Chain A
Amino acid sequence: MAYAEDAEHQALHEPRSYWTRYIWSQDHKVIAIQYSLTAIVAGLVALVLSALMRMQIGFPGSLEFVDAEAYYQFMTMHGMIMVIYLLTALFLGGFGNYLIPLMVGARDMVFPYVNMLSYWTYLLSVIILLASFFVPGGPTGAGWTLYPPQAISQGTPGTDWGIVLMLVSLLVFIVAATMGGLNYVTTVLQARTHGMTLLRMPLTVWGIFSATILALLAFPALFVSGIMMLFDKVLGTSFFMPAMISMGQQLDHEGGSPILFQHLFWFFGHPEVYIVALPAFGLVSDIISVHARKNIFGYRMMVWAIIAIAVLSFVVWAHHMYVSGMNPYFGFFFATSTLIIAVPTALKVYNWVLTLWRGDVHLTVPMLFALAFILTFVTGGLTGLFLGNVIVDIPLSDTYFVVAHFHMVMGVAPILVVFGAIYHWYPKITGRMLNDTIGKLHFWITFIGTYLIYFPMHYLGFLGMPRRYYDYEGIAFIPQSAHDLNAFITVMALTVGLAQLLFVFNMFYSAFKGRPAEANPWHATSLEWLTPQTPPAHGNWGPSLPVVHRWAYDYSVPGWEQDYVPQTEPLRPGETEHTGIASDSSPLDSTDSSIAEGKP
């Protein structure tokens, strides 16, 4: 008997009181909501920090408390929070937790207690990180990449307490991510329901699953470099510290390798990009398929592309280090592997577009965000081709072109998916619909606004405007037009920042006053929409687990009275199952015979 089958009859940890139900909960759905809300709060802090930074860039000196030190501290915290504490936590801890068990037909994660510990450990790491705002010297201002030697040398803001808290917080976060990640991977591998084969899983699960494996294999490098740097700082070891003179004084370090830190950091850092991107790819594939009422084009290709990207993401890390002084031959290798990774990525973009082609596109709010994702991702991806080549990267490397590139590709694009996914799954999570009008307003301001923020930055980068600077006054080669453009960008950034209040308001308002949702408001096929209750009750499925008979993309299948066929619907006599291979994946073209014969 399979263990998954065993679990069907398993008596679960039944919550007994308010506290075990909502606070110390072991239910994956509650943990997901806890994870998401914590991540969103942290993200709002980072959003405010970015607004403060933009004020300094656009209107220098307008906020007195944003001096050079504060600027670097805000920049560091903004980057670290957005990448790790918001996006990673939200995609894996939030969406992963909520959707994996529901989409594969499990009652819960395989080890609910470890899952609960994961959340509380994550919360601890967020608290440690935010505590650094309140210690003497404030948070670290080392830049989000925390490069030594400057990260732990005198002269960098927050060098006494801030950097220590940052490193400890990261180590704690990694422990949390590992506990959660082990659960997600084991659940996907070992706890699927009857008939849920690997190639019937929705792409969301594939994306989150692959991203989690990346996290489990990439975070160790950050963990180790964090420990080493902590020792350099606290014990005075010299892992990353060469002999150097700082502020006129010979330091007590010698013989360490700063480049080692960069290698370790980016061995984590590049897969981290895909830890954020792969779940976004998965979620957006499902959103597009549902709202275009059409199967995802080339399902199997999409799965293999995810796997290829995941594997390749481990051999591209040094493209972040072209100007670090490493061996130039490395640049040749890493530029090549970087361009190769564009192939499966481009394949995914083509498949999204082909999914839309001749589809019955419903411009709902989640769909708008999904379409916007494709655009921003392509924009950001194309500039990636510039930066992936050594010869082009070197002049652009420390300019605003890079800021524009990574904000477009791994800031805006995944965040748009986050919004789209929240609008899409909110009805299942709360049992109420989000308000459409506010949603559309939020979408248009955010979407157009982000282009107005980041598009001009490409131009600033070509002008040679360096990034990471606190103040650009009096730099001769930066023309007045660039300063005016900066002011414009700041105004746009503040507008988009404020627009996010619409979203926060919508989330809370609709949770209480929203229109009650049906069980399956988007007429989707995947399992999470087929739960007996909405929101799903503890244990998800009632007395017995669902039985899966088909893939998750049977939309607009000819011969069926409705335009979607849930995964639990058995094949009709004579109906052949979609294998997910692109050549047979367009039901709109197969107008006839074999499927229609099955119709009674």
Chain B
Amino acid sequence: MATPTASSTVTPTGNTSLTVRAWRELNSDWGSDKEAFKNVPWGKAMMWIFLLSDTFIFSCFLIGYMTVRMTSTDPWPLTSDVFALEIAGQHIPLILIAIMTFILITSSGTMAMAVNYGYRGDRKKTAALMLTTAILGASFVGMQAFEWTKLIEEGVRPWGNPMGAAQFGACFFMITGFHGLHVSIGVLYLSIVAFKVWRGDYESKSMESKGMESKSAAPTDGRNYQIVEITGLYWHFVDLVWVFIFAFFYLW
């Protein structure tokens, strides 16, 4: 098909500098017809844009938390004491959070492996690794439930707590709750996709017609495991957000 080229074609004149040329080429690549991101499926582009929007949500949560931590008149509870466990007579600060963080980061590893095996077209390993990721995620949520229970038993409530500033409980339940919700949705999402991978939904040629065909990844004999990567994007994002929550809420 005689497709017209981009309107801003580069005119190679002798005296244009390299920078100017580079900018023009960038411009014409980006601005060319059909797609701004070449060979990126619609779902993947949409997931990236959604994650950008979600980043703003979590940023607002964290900025809000930092602000009320500054404005609150009572002292902020010492997180290393609040989040400590007595294990075998030892008082270990932040041990549960450390384990939770380790688990979540491990799950990102298994997720990355699942994406890899997906593009290799290994249906069973992909499904197994995604399921592992989901189980790790579920255990994270389980531990979070344990942590919530423990704090609630110690008298921490959204509207107040015996350790200090009322905003501590409010921020804790709001931010970890919202993040936990994200993890739970992720577990559900992973399980559904893992099940579909295992069932062989992404093996058939019919997916091509749904705009899911890939050119970039390895064997393209009709298989299409882009959805695994899209799920992975979401999962890594949830993981990354946790790192920030860990740093700003638990360690600070």
Same complex origin of A and B: yes
Q: Measuring CB to CB, which residues of chain A are less than 8 angstroms from any residue of chain B?
A: 1-7, 9-11, 110-111, 178, 181-183, 185-186, 189-200, 216-217, 219-221, 223-225, 227-228, 231, 235-239, 242-243, 252, 254-257, 260, 264, 267, 547-549, 551, 571, 577, 579-580
Q: Does B23 contact A (CB under 8 A)?
A: no
Q: Measuring CB to CB, which residues of chain B are less than 8 angstroms from any residue of chain A?
A: 1-4, 6-8, 30-43, 45-46, 49-50, 52-54, 56-57, 59-61, 64, 67-68, 71-74, 158-159, 165-167, 169-170, 174, 178, 208-211, 213, 215
Sorted nearest first, the 10 A-B pairs with minimum C-beta distance are: A255-B72, A220-B56, A224-B60, A237-B170, A236-B159, A198-B31, A220-B57, A4-B34, A257-B71, A110-B42
Across the interface, which residues of A come within 8 angstroms of B32, CB to CB?
Answer: 197-198
Across the interface, which residues of B come within 8 angstroms of A182, CB to CB?
Answer: 46, 49-50, 53
Write the chain B residue with the least CB distance to A303. Answer: B31
Pair B6/A231 contact, Cβ less than 8 Å: no
Pair B4/A549 contact, Cβ less than 8 Å: yes
CA distance A235 to B156 in the complex (A): 13
CA distance A2 to B30 in the complex (A): 14
Pair B158/A224 contact, Cβ less than 8 Å: no
Min distance, Cβ B36 to any Cβ of chain A, angstroms: 4
Pair B3/A547 contact, Cβ less than 8 Å: yes
Pair B39/A197 contact, Cβ less than 8 Å: no
Write the chain B residue with the least CB distance to A179. Answer: B50
Across the interface, which residues of A come within 8 angstroms of B166, CB to CB?
Answer: 237-238, 254-255
Write the chain A residue with the least CB distance to B28. Answer: A197
Write the chain A residue with the least CB distance to B36. Answer: A189
Across the interface, which residues of A come within 8 angstroms of B4, CB to CB?
Answer: 194-195, 547-549, 571
Min distance, Cβ B214 to any Cβ of chain A, angstroms: 10
Contact A216-B35, Cβ < 8 Å, known A10-B210, A255-B68: no
CA distance A193 to B33 in the complex (A): 7
Pair A10/B42 contact, Cβ less than 8 Å: no
8 contacts across the A-B interface (CB closer than 8 A): A6-B213, A190-B40, A199-B8, A220-B53, A238-B167, A239-B167, A256-B71, A579-B8
CA distance A255 to B210 in the complex (A): 53
Across the interface, which residues of B come within 8 angstroms of A195, CB to CB?
Answer: 3-4, 33
Across the interface, which residues of B come within 8 angstroms of A225, CB to CB?
Answer: 60, 64
Pair A224/B57 contact, Cβ less than 8 Å: yes
CA distance A198 to B29 in the complex (A): 10
Min distance, Cβ B47 to any Cβ of chain A, angstroms: 9
Contact A2-B38, Cβ < 8 Å, known A197-B6, A235-B159, A256-B71: yes
Across the interface, which residues of B come within 8 angstroms of A183, CB to CB?
Answer: 46
Contact A256-B167, Cβ < 8 Å, known A2-B39, A182-B50, A197-B6: yes
Min distance, Cβ A463 to any Cβ of chain B, angstroms: 38
Pair B68/A239 contact, Cβ less than 8 Å: yes
Within the complex, which residue of A189, A256, A577 is in contact with B45, where a contact is CB–CB below 8 Å?
A: A189
CA distance A462 to B213 in the complex (A): 64
Pair B46/A197 contact, Cβ less than 8 Å: no
Contact A190-B45, Cβ < 8 Å, known A216-B52, A237-B158: yes
Pair B165/A255 contact, Cβ less than 8 Å: yes
Pair A3/B3 contact, Cβ less than 8 Å: no
Across the interface, which residues of B come within 8 angstroms of A110, CB to CB?
Answer: 42, 46
Q: List 11 other contacts, CB 8 Å, given A228-B174, A257-B71.
A: A3-B34, A3-B35, A9-B209, A190-B37, A192-B33, A194-B4, A196-B34, A200-B7, A200-B33, A219-B53, A255-B68
Pair A231/B158 contact, Cβ less than 8 Å: yes
CA distance A186 to B68 in the complex (A): 36
Contact A193-B34, Cβ < 8 Å, known A6-B208, A252-B159, A257-B67: yes
Across the interface, which residues of A come within 8 angstroms of B64, CB to CB?
Answer: 224-225, 228, 239, 260, 264
Pair B46/A111 contact, Cβ less than 8 Å: yes
Across the interface, which residues of B come within 8 angstroms of A220, CB to CB?
Answer: 53-54, 56-57, 59-60
Min distance, Cβ A206 to any Cβ of chain B, angstroms: 12
CA distance A199 to B36 in the complex (A): 12
CA distance A197 to B7 in the complex (A): 7
Across the interface, which residues of B come within 8 angstroms of A194, CB to CB?
Answer: 1, 3-4, 33-34
Across the interface, which residues of A come within 8 angstroms of B50, CB to CB?
Answer: 178, 182
CA distance A6 to B174 in the complex (A): 43
Across the interface, which residues of A come within 8 angstroms of B46, CB to CB?
Answer: 110-111, 182-183, 186
Min distance, Cβ B93 to any Cβ of chain A, angstroms: 25
Across the interface, which residues of B come within 8 angstroms of A579, CB to CB?
Answer: 7-8
Contact A260-B1, Cβ < 8 Å, known A5-B34, A200-B7, A238-B170: no
CA distance A267 to B67 in the complex (A): 15
Across the interface, which residues of A come within 8 angstroms of B165, CB to CB?
Answer: 255
Contact A236-B158, Cβ < 8 Å, known A1-B213, A217-B56: yes
Pair A238/B159 contact, Cβ less than 8 Å: yes
Write the chain B residue with the least CB distance to A7. Answer: B211
Min distance, Cβ B121 to any Cβ of chain A, angstroms: 20
Most buried by A among B40, B41, B170: B170
